[in-house]
């Protein structure tokens, strides 16, 4: 599927004893309380506690995260750039 010259990759989120996310194109940040992922043209932020990446395969577009997921938030790619500026400030 194409949209304005960019290809959108389908993704899925499964929450069970953590989270499994498919369609991941980039891992932006991972720590014990927050995981930030690029999924297509959007950014997915998972918040919670005791996060650890159990499996990561960018080739397959899959990340498996163990821990307690409290919330999921989608944002535009522009919002992710703002996050990175704050992170590296």
| CATH 2.60.40.2000 describes domain 2-87 | yes
Q: Which two tokens stand for residue 86?
A: 């704050």
**In terms of Cα–Cα distance, which of 10, 12, 16, 11 is closest to 65?**
16
- Could you report the per-residue pLDDT of 18-35, keeping only the tens digit for each? 999 999 999 999 999 999
Give this prediction's pTM: 0.75
Give pLDDT, residue 69. 96
> What are the backbone angles phi and psi of residue 25, rounded to the nearest 5°?
-105, -20
Domain ranges of the chain: 2-87
Residues in the chain where the model's pLDDT stays below 70: 1-9, 77-89
């Amino acid at each position: 599927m194409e949209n304005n010259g960019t290809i959108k990759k389908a993704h899925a989120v499964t929450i069970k004893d953590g989270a499994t996310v498919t369609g991941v194109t980039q891992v932006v940040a991972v720590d014990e309380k927050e995981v930030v992922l690029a999924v297509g043209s959007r950014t997915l932020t998972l918040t919670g506690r005791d996060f650890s990446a159990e499996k990561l395969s960018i080739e397959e577009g899959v990340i498996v995260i163990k821990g307690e997921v409290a919330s999921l938030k989608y944002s535009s790619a522009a919002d992710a750039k703002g996050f990175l500026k704050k992170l590296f400030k």
